Structure 1
Amino acid sequence: MPSQMEHTMETMMFMCHKFAGDKGYLTKEDLRVLMEKEFPEFLENQKRPFTQGTKITKDLDQCQDSRVGFQSFFLLIVGLTITCTAYFVVHMEQKGRK
């Protein structure tokens, strides 16, 4: 039975391939659908969610070929996780002060 971390890694690989399909990379549209389905609360808190999606795609498309591979997808997840962790820490600190 895989560990929790191994399961998390497997889930990340599966999610990327689920939205990329057989082509093996994510397009701007793939990323938009992924963000809408998998990060709805994150998008709700953005001032301009679809503009952010376009910027995210540009930032991740390192080769400027309108394709986002697994490594760039992983960087997106890491960035979102870091952002959420920072928010969580601030929220917990504020909660502790009350």
Structure 2
Amino acid sequence: MVSELEQAMESLIQVFHTYSGREGDKYKLSKAEMKLLLQGELGFFLTQSSKDPNTVDQIMRDLDENKDGEVDFQEFVVLVASLTVACNDFFVEQLKKQ
């Protein structure tokens, strides 16, 4: 039986590869692929920042550690981890208020 954490890891891998490789390197996300992923998978979290047309550019610059203009899986996981930490912090604060 697969654990919840193993399922979450599998989901991360599947989501990444659903969007990567539509153009260019199939193991990296181009800017266009990253935009599709953000809109398709994280639209709820990015609603506020989506009004800024430079949002995807900024996210790409922040994630692209090796400055190759693309986001590989390791760089993508940094985004997911950062958002997860931010969500956890928010929920902890909400629980403290109750």
TM-score under structure 1 normalisation? 0.86
Query: 1:90 maps to which residue?
Result: 93
Distance between the aligned counterparts of 1:70 and 1:47, measured in 2? Answer: 23
In the TM superposition, what whole-angstrom CA distance separates every residue of 1:31-59 from its partner, at most 9, and x where no partner exists?
A: 11111111111111337454222111011
Instruction: Specify which structure has the higher proportion of strand.
Output: 2
Runs (4+) of structure 1 moved beyond 4 Å?
none
CA RMSD of aligned residues (A): 1.6
Identity in percent: 32
- State the one-letter code of the partner of 1:67: E
Query: 1:13 maps to which residue?
Result: 13
Count of aligned residue pairs for this structure pair: 95
The alpha-carbon deviation at position 26 of structure 1 amounts to 0.3
Change (3 A) 1:80 1:49: farther
